[in-house]
Amino acid sequence: MNAEDKIYESGDGEASSASAVASTPELSSPTRELQLDTDTMKRAAAKKLIERYFYQLIDGCGNSNCDNDYCASSGKVRNLTPNQAAAQAIQLFSQEAKLCDAQPTKVARTQSDLTNKSNEKGISNYGNSILGSSTIGSTFTTPEPFSGIPENSRLDSQSTTNLSQGKEVAYINTEKLLKILDSCKQNDSYSLLIRTLGEVFSSADSLSQSFIKQHPDSPIDALLDKAPKKDLKKLKKEDVRIMEGDLDKDEDSQEITEEGGGECSQGTQNWTSTSMQDDIRVDITSLRCGYKALFEVPGNVFESALVHALITLSGNLELELRLFGRPKMEHPEDLLNVFVIVLEIPTLGSSEYLEMALPQVCKAASHLSVKLQARLARILARHCRCRLKGLLEALQQLITLKVISGHFSREYCVQDEDSITTPTKLMKVVYYANILAGELDPPELRQEDCTAITDDSLLSNVVGKNSRAQHEDPLAAELQINVLDSRSPYLPFTEFYNEPLSDAIEMDKDFAYYKSESPTKFSFMNYAFILTPASKTLGLYYDNRIKMYSERRMSFFHSVVGQPTNPYLRLKVRRDHIIDDALVELEMVAMENPKDLRKQLVVEFEGEQGIDEGGVSKEFFQLIVEEIFNPDYGMFTFQNETKTFWFNPTSFESDAQFTLIGIILGLAIYNNIILDVHFPMVVYRKLMGKKGTYYDLQDWNPTLFTGLKAMLEYEADDMEDTFVQTFRICYQDVFGTTFFHELKEGGDQIYVCQDNKKEFVDLYADFLLNSCVEKQFRAFRRGFQMVTDESPLHLLFRPEEVEQLVCGSKNFDFNELEEATEYDGGYTSSSSIIVYFWEIVHKMPLESKRKLLQFATGSDRVPVGGLSKLKLIIAKNGPDSDRLPTAHTCFNVLLLPEYRSKEKLNDRLMKAINYSKGFGML
């Protein structure tokens, strides 16, 4: 008897689920004693007990004399839906409630039994077709496996018969894999393992039927997926109620569609789908257990065979998906099983996998329909959450490797390289899976464009007539989510940035591809999550400049036909009336033609000579921001704790004033100018279209957030006596006047208790962040949209990145500035005066460094991407003299005389930056 015969001598009768392989102590084989980590083991053991409570509630113990209040046999349990029974089972587990002994006559429940019972009660089938068309009589216990292994089968018991076609399909599961590994170790030959992996992993049919769950998911699985990652015995009743409510919402919103079969034409997906649920038949725990055993094989003797099998598999799938829109599989609905099994390979980001297999897998995945991409994203978020980081790292390594090793030019750029673009497409699926796997706010918090402003100002007649161009991603639309919904992603968004790629992209070409109507052109602007903020800022800059040039051309055309118009947005203001003058000027522009706001800004200070090449505009923005946030105006309140400004709900200023601020913010972005404004992050989230929530209080008012958090976490029954809080709140305006507000009708008589504390917190946060400043913020946002509504701002930037766009980076690394600085007029980096200059600068306190930036560039802010993006030029301005340094702020040029000593340079430089406001800048 050969080694292979020994493996299968006993048939498949001993096959068990992967969870049993991983956790059953009586398995004697060392390979079978694979253990998961402690938390997983505890959770698996807890799940088994919870399932016993579940069936006790649904079926009872079979004892007609049972007196257990939590057993169906006692007659004391009301009719429960599966979801309700699952939720109550978790509560009974946490309470260590009485558990009956099952009677020996008890029969195992089947999926169809539960389905029929659910349907009798009018309950939706939670396990609907979950095993697909090849599942017959599936049960919650281990099913009887196939027997009768054909002698001529290459893999013997690793073949399953397709009953409808009579064909044999090779497959593998963890139990079989462990047997093969044991045999190979005993015989010191891995030929059987290599042959098996080569046959299974090269065939989509074989792989789709491998590592299949021995039983369908119960409501317990779905409920535990939503459970907080902590000891299940420490779950609170409120946690279980929220989990059950979420599960009910999922079932209510779930659409299970069955489309007719038939041949596909022109690549359109039209093949039969047995189940469109966002679930899979793959037993992830078993799969990981199998991979763990497999990759412990010394010398990686099988990896070359596995890599070549994956290349064959991916090539076939890519061809079939590209040409026919569907895979030529016996069960096309199991296609995602294939991708899940492949993407779970733990070494996908190393050695041969990275260079050979992963690029082919990405190419195949890039041809998945949007619907299948959405399902894959949900599957990764639900079942493969802990795999997301490793998968993201593998894709990042592949892209970086191809960028560094590639030879790109204007004729052949990174957008033309499939081994870069296809991993980016797959990364988008991971990106949305990352959002789904994190903490999400309900989509109801997203708000549409503001309604018309009711005000007598001229701006009220034009604000709101422009509709912001929508840039909705098809995958996001299919998933019905938005990046704004993400309160806390599973992985930080910054981990999706790829700096080598961002540096290699020629953004002018990428922008041209983005604007191109040809669908064959790939643009990274449609995959903005992978770009650094600096690269995205450049893309926005091109969009803005093209609009400016377009307005100039239109002005020239109008001049030719006898209707001359100004090609620029010209503002003429007085320094001592800058707010009033700017308001009047912008009102007139908005009244005549709001599109003029998209022209290049040119500012002129009355009574002063000078041509605005950028420097005068910078000073204008600096001065107007100082005036706007002046406490004398009373438009904003200052938060001492966070050093930020917030809208004054009792401001006497007109809506037009707040609209002006919004326009200023939009113009600064449009003209690539950084402002010295200090808003909490919630302002930028609201600007992008999301209402403020309780969680936004953390960076707006940390003390208040801490107090409300303590209220939410308080569990004792004496809450009313402890907090003595009603639904009536008080707040103060900028002048210290106290106001009272009832959060709901009769709020003064309603005390906050355990049942309504969450409602109180939500209403309180909504009042402070939304309703009480609605009028002011609506005008502010409307002004902002007047300038930005047709730009790709919403496509490219998240709220956190918009803050950088407005305020600049917070990283004052002057070493970066020194490396990026250029020299002119005879100076070089080794000139003694230059060496002295940087020695002085590096020793300056931060405030003096800010003043130096202000003096040399017209702004004390760091551009997005850091000081390395600031192209400072230091030019020679004659020999030694008593003159102070001067600067061309329009061009970031610092004019420096060649002082004879370091001490004199320090003296003249400090005087220049400390007393230069309005002087010394050209």
User: Above 80 in pLDDT, residue 182?
Assistant: yes
| DSSP class of 845 | -
Label residue 686 left, alpha or beta by phi (over 0 means left) and psi (-120 to 50 means alpha).
Answer: alpha
Please give the single-letter amino acid code of residue 852: L
Helices 335-343 and 358-365, packing angle to 10 deg: 150
Among 443-457, 607-621, 701-715, 790-804, the minimum mean pLDDT is found in 443-457
Domain borders along the chain are 38-146+155-253+274-367, 368-443+474-530, 542-692+774-807, 696-769, 814-914
Instruction: Report the pLDDT value the prediction gives residue 515, as an integer from 0 to 100.
Output: 87
CA 572 to each of CA 213, 555, 580, 584, 628: distance values in angstroms, whole numbers, following the listed order: 73, 20, 11, 10, 18
Q: Measured between alpha carbons, how far apart are the two ends of the chain, in Å?
A: 94
Arithmetic mean of pLDDT, 52-77:
83
| DSSP class of 198 | H
**pLDDT, tens digit (0-9, with 9 covering 90-100), for 670-693:** 888 888 888 999 999 999 999 999
* Helix, strand, coil percentages, rounded to 5, for the chain: 55, 5, 40
Q: What is the CA radius of gyration of the chain?
A: 33
Arithmetic mean of pLDDT, 796-819:
86
What SS3 state is found at 167?
Answer: strand
User: Above 90 in pLDDT, residue 271?
Assistant: no
Query: Which residue is associated with the tokens 């020194």?
Result: 818
Work out the pLDDT band at 43, boundaries 50, 70, 90: low
What element of type H or E holds 43? helix 38-58
Higher pLDDT, 576 or 340: 340
Q: Are 174 and 287 in contact (CB under 8 A)?
A: yes
User: Above 80 in pLDDT, residue 45?
Assistant: no
Give a three-class secondary structure readout of 212-235. Answer: ECCCCCCHHHHHHHCCCCCCHHHC
Instruction: Report the pLDDT value the prediction gives residue 420, as an integer from 0 to 100.
Output: 95
Work out the pLDDT band at 324, boundaries 50, 70, 90: confident
**pLDDT, tens digit (0-9, with 9 covering 90-100), for 414-453:** 999 999 999 999 999 999 999 999 999 988 888 754 444 4
Query: Which residue is associated with the tokens 């008593």?
Result: 882
Instruction: Report the pLDDT value the prediction gives residue 762, as an integer from 0 to 100.
Output: 93
Q: Are 859 and 674 in contact (CB under 8 A)?
A: yes
**pLDDT, tens digit (0-9, with 9 covering 90-100), for 328-338:** 887 788 899 99
Higher pLDDT, 775 or 36: 775
Token pair of 352 as six digits: 């041969």
> What residues form DSSP beta bridges with 822?
873
Higher pLDDT, 304 or 809: 304
Counting residues of the chain whose pLDDT is more than 70, the rounded percentage is: 76
Whether pTM exceeds 0.85: no
* Exposure of 740 in the CB half-sphere (CA atoms within 13 A): 7
The architecture in CATH of the region 814-914 reads 2-Layer Sandwich (3.30)
**pLDDT, tens digit (0-9, with 9 covering 90-100), for 513-564:** 998 876 678 999 999 999 999 899 988 888 888 888 877 777 777 777 766 6
Q: How far apart are CA 126 and CA 64, in angstroms?
A: 29
Query: What DSSP line would sit under 849-903, residue for residue?
Result: HHHHHHHHHS--SBPTT-GGG---EEEE-SSS-SPPPEEETTTTEEEE---SSHH
Query: Which residue is associated with the tokens 């009018």?
Result: 122
**Annotated catalytic residue 772:** no
Work out the mean pLDDT of the chain and round it to a whole number. Answer: 78
What is the third-level CATH fold of 542-692+774-807?
Hect, E3 ligase catalytic domain fold (3.90.1750)
Q: Are 833 and 896 in contact (CB under 8 A)?
A: yes
**pLDDT, tens digit (0-9, with 9 covering 90-100), for 727-761:** 999 877 666 778 889 998 888 999 999 989 999 99
Arithmetic mean of pLDDT, 75-88:
79
Arithmetic mean of pLDDT, 623-636:
82
Residues 110, 115, 118, 120: is their CA dihedral positive or negative?
A: negative
**Which CATH number applies to 696-769?**
3.30.2160.10
Among 214-223, 225-234, 413-422, 787-796, the minimum mean pLDDT is found in 225-234
Query: What DSSP line would sit under 572-587, residue for residue?
Result: EE-GGGHHHHHHHHHH
Arithmetic mean of pLDDT, 70-77:
83
CA 504 to each of CA 300, 500, 552, 849: distance values in angstroms, whole numbers, following the listed order: 35, 6, 31, 31
What SS3 state is found at 690?
Answer: strand
